[in-house]
């Protein structure tokens, strides 16, 4: 399961880089794929808030992957990880909707 954890870490790194890209952006960043972001009152604060969402997501994703180092292949515990990820993704969407309401022009 070490390979699974390495892949998990690479994916977490991708989300971390996405957060860095959002942090440095001068224009409003999109959150959902294929959807243009609306005009925001404070673009920099909005981008930083979105970047923080991605930073937290990457950190939580990485820490939830740690059990992959200790479980056996085809363990039922892997289903728990899938459930945790579903809850995490839903939570991220809810937080983003609140950020968008806060900064929308």
Question: Are the C-beta atoms of 11 and 54 separated by less than 8 Å?
Answer: no
Percent of the chain with pLDDT over 90: 50
Question: Each residue of 57-68: b (16+ CB within 10 Å) or e?
Answer: bbebbbebbebb
Q: Counting Cβ atoms within 10 Å, is residue 52 exposed (0-12), middle (13-18) or buried (19+)?
A: middle
pLDDT at 93: 93
Could you give the angle at which helices 43-64 and 2-24 cross, rounded to 10 degrees?
Answer: 170
Low-confidence ranges of the chain (pLDDT < 50): none
pTM above 0.95, yes or no: no
């Amino acid at each position: 399961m070490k390979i699974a954890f390495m892949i998990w870490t690479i994916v977490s790194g991708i989300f971390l880089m996405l957060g860095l890209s959002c942090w440095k952006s001068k224009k409003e960043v999109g959150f959902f794929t294929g959807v243009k972001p609306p005009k925001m009152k404070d673009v920099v604060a909005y981008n930083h808030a979105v970047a923080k969402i991605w930073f937290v997501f990457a950190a939580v994703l990485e820490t939830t992957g740690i059990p992959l180092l200790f479980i056996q292949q085809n363990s039922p515990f892997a289903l728990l990880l899938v459930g945790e990820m579903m809850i995490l993704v839903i939570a991220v969407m809810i937080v983003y909707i609140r950020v968008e309401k806060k900064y929308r022009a």
